[in-house]
Copies of this chain bind each other. A is one copy, B any other.
């Protein structure tokens, strides 16, 4: 399990051709080997995604959270999003959210608009420029992802979705207790 080189383009697409061909007698050894191949593929995907995030962040000269905010806003441009919602989404303090919005406003990616119904709060809107920039760098990715799944059979889709849900459950259980044992 070495993450080392997988962050550079090309190395993440190691051909799966033979790794997953299966046996007639489905012995425990084979199952273990297949399981490892699946987890390895997942790890490679994660590495590819982390690398993509960094490239995008660099090419847009923008922090991770700023980018997340833009993507969140652009996901449904009709929705009225307030800073508090972004605070919960990012899991940061309200102060940090304010700072992020300041930077995005200064760089011309968002605007702050008054909320007529509650004059304490405001609405955040992505500018056309933000839309264009994000679309230019990430736009094709979603299309490619969709193209990569559109040809899957119902059975394949079901297997993948079930797998992802089990994985989500697996990572959901980490570090929820802790500090009961060894705190100083």
Contacts and interface: CB of A to CB of B under 8 A. Distances in A.
Interface of A: 1-4, 7-10, 12-14, 16, 19-23, 26, 30-32, 34-35, 37-39, 41-42, 44-46, 48-49, 51-52, 54-56, 58-59, 72, 75-76, 85, 88-89, 91, 133, 136-138, 140-141, 144-152, 154-176, 178-179, 181-184
A33 B75 CA distance: 18
B34 A157 contact: yes
B175 A59 contact: yes
A43 to B, nearest CB: 9
Nearest to A4: B89
Contact of A141 (B3, B42, B166, B174): B174
A19 to B, nearest CB: 7
